[in-house]
Amino acid sequence: MEFCPKCKSMMVPVKGVSKCRNSKCGYVKEKETDQESLMSKAARSEREVTVLEGNIDQGLPTTSVRCDECGHNVAYWWLRQLRSADESETRFFKCTKCGLTWREYD
């Protein structure tokens, strides 16, 4: 879905161009050429996810939970949506002493 840059109304496709639905505005956008379309798709596919290494735990909240590996009572925690959206998130823990990572099972 595309919106008019002038009046923010919705644009509708008409005979190879996009026209603003607002008749008072009259903005018309020509259809992108195949080359422009390919370039925008390439730009989207080049987006990379930055993986943090090192002290990524800094800034995570901590909680009081016992580590089965070393017996320490403080761990970092975070939530991840692993299953479908209608199911609850999974809570992960990482021991601040030994680095053991585990998940909480309901």
Domains of the chain: 11-42 (no CATH), 62-103 (2.20.25.10)
- From CA 76, how far away is CA 67, in angstroms rounded? 11
Write out pLDDT tens, residues 46-73. Answer: 655 555 556 666 678 999 999 999 999 9
DSSP bridge pairs for 80: 90
12-45 pLDDT, tens digit each: 888 888 888 887 888 888 876 555 555 555 565 5
- Catalytic site residues? 86-87
Element (H, E) at 18: strand 17-20
Q: Are 104 and 63 in contact (CB under 8 A)?
A: no
Identify the three-state secondary structure at position 38: helix
In angstroms, how far apart are the furthest CA atoms of the chain?
Answer: 71
